[in-house]
Amino acid sequence: MPRKMTINMGPQHPSTHGVLRVILELEGENVVGSDMEVGLLHRGIEKLAESMTYQQIVTLTDRLDYVTSMTNNITYVMAVEKLLGIEIPPRGEYIRTLIAEMQRVVNHMMFVGIYAMDLGAITPVFQTFRDREIILDLFEMISGARLTYSFFRVGGMREEIPQEFFDKTKDFNDKLLGMIAEYETLLTRNRIFRARNIGVGVVSKEYAINCGLTGPVLRASGVPYDLRKAKPYLMYDKMDFEIAVGDNGDCYDRYLVRIKELKESQKIIAQCLEQMPSGASNCEDYKKYKIPKPFKVPAGEVYFSTECPKGELGFYIISDGTKSPYRIKINSPSYINTAALSGMIEGALIADVVATIASLDIVLGELDK
């Protein structure tokens, strides 16, 4: 009978993606039990939001998942717009769709690089970060920042987008498939990568649904659920794309789902650029919602969610008719995926715990709120 040992992984561990503390109970090298401690990055965003006006909260959403600030901005402003009943002209919706997909490309590139790095492969991270830089430069061109964009505003966006942005995006998009092929050459068929991945961290379909898993993790388990298809928002009902679905629900499938999504995003970006209409991109009475005048939102409540790169990000906003929300609840994908981690790593080897955490693609800023 081997002696049981309890060890700490994190909060200062490079592969916990921030400050997640996993307490592992080990029997030899096998994990027999685990517990997690979160909240080390808790900044009280929900409480802060109650004291801010609706326009100011956009800056808080940047700091949820700091890898995908644009989609956070879009989700939040669309939740408020739904509460206000604002319609955005087609050009505005196309621009949001385009930027959301570019953000998905950034996130999945980052995932591929960091994931390979966590498993011990150094090369892919250079390739992915080199390519990710191109989109970050494009985003800097329109918003003025590289990570915390605060670009979208209720009713529209901060500034008009120059034509140069679309031209450069097209150049980038034409090369994107070649870039993805490079990552695949380095990883997909590689025998070491496969040995570390196939059959590791398996999530069954039932467990995935019961735990409320979301995003690529849910789809890798064989559930074809994607909000872009299930409840189309923005211009996704006019786009031609497929949902990536895995079969086994192991780490390798989660990687393949994201590679497939990269390719699908490439298709959507091309369609957006092609169909981009001209005209106004902000709503009709955008002046009413513009800074510096705070606006009032009618009393009521709304839950709005979009398919962010990491999964379903939802904002539940209760308004009492004043300039700041009565209560905001942020339903973030990293939070709900991490909650299910204990069941995934039960019985696994300690090295597989690293692979499983990395394959969930979590960001602690979003988990701890």
Partner 1 sequence: MEGDKKLSLFEKIFFIEIIKGHLLTLKYMFGKNVTVMYPDEKRAPVPKSRGIHTFKLESDGTERCNACGLCAKFCPSNCITIKGEKVDGKRIVTQYDIDITRCIFCGMCVDACPKDAIAMVEEYEISVYNKDEMNLDQQGMHKYSSRVPS
Partner 2 sequence: MKKENLKNMNDIGAAEALKKHFPSAVESAELVNHEAVVYVRKDDIKKVLAYLKEKVGFEYLFSITGVDYPDRTPRFDIVYHLKTLEHPLQLTIKVKVEEGTDVDSVYDIFKSANWCEREAYDMVGVPFKGHPNMTRLFMWEGFEGYPLRKDFPLYTEDK
Provide the binding-site residues for partner 2, judged by CB under 8 A: 38-39, 42, 44, 46-48, 50-51, 82-83, 207, 209-212, 214, 223, 225, 230-231, 300-303, 312, 314, 316, 318, 326-327, 329, 331, 335-336, 339-340, 343, 368-369
**Residue 164 contact partner, candidates partner 2, partner 1, none, CB within 5 to 8 A by sort of partner:** none
Q: Between residue 58 and residue 117, which ones bind partner 1 under the rule CB under 8 A?
A: 59-60, 62
**Residue 147 contact partner, candidates partner 2, partner 1, none, CB within 5 to 8 A by sort of partner:** none
Burial label for 336, CB within 10 Å (0-12, 13-18, 19+), is buried
Shortest distance in whole angstroms from residue 256 CB to partner 1: 5
Kindly write down the DSSP assignment for every residue of 148-200, as one continuous string.
----EETTEESSPPPHHHHHHHHHHHHHHHHHHHHHHHHHTT-HHHHHHHTTS
Strands (E), the chain: 4-9, 21-27, 30-37, 152-153, 156-157, 300-308, 311-319, 327-331
Q: 151 φ, ψ to 5°? A: -90, -40
Nearest to 360 by CA among 242, 226, 258: 258
Report yes or no: 67 and 264 within 8 Å, Cβ to Cβ. Answer: no
Determine the interface stretch with partner 1 among 130-138, 314-322, 342-350, 355-363 (rule: CB under 8 A): 130-138
Binding mask 233-262 for partner 1 (x = CB under 8 A): -----------xxxxx---xx--xx-xx--
Q: Between residue 274 and residue 313, which ones bind partner 1 under the rule CB under 8 A?
A: 290-292
d(CA 113, CA 361): 11
Shortest distance in whole angstroms from residue 316 CB to partner 1: 21
Would you give the end-to-end CA distance of the chain in angstroms?
42
Q: How many CB atoms lie within 10 A of CB 25?
A: 14
Shortest distance in whole angstroms from residue 286 CB to partner 1: 13
Q: Does 150 contact partner 1 by CB under 8 A?
A: yes
d(CA 324, CA 276): 34
Report yes or no: 133 and 109 within 8 Å, Cβ to Cβ. Answer: no
Q: Does 123 contact partner 1 by CB under 8 A?
A: yes
Q: Does 137 contact partner 1 by CB under 8 A?
A: yes
Q: Does 12 contact partner 1 by CB under 8 A?
A: no
**Residue 60 contact partner, candidates partner 2, partner 1, none, CB within 5 to 8 A by sort of partner:** partner 1
What are the residues binding partner 1 (CB under 8 A)?
Answer: 52, 55-56, 59-60, 62, 123, 130, 133, 137, 140-141, 143-145, 148, 150, 158, 182, 184-186, 188-191, 194, 244-248, 252-253, 256-257, 259-260, 290-292
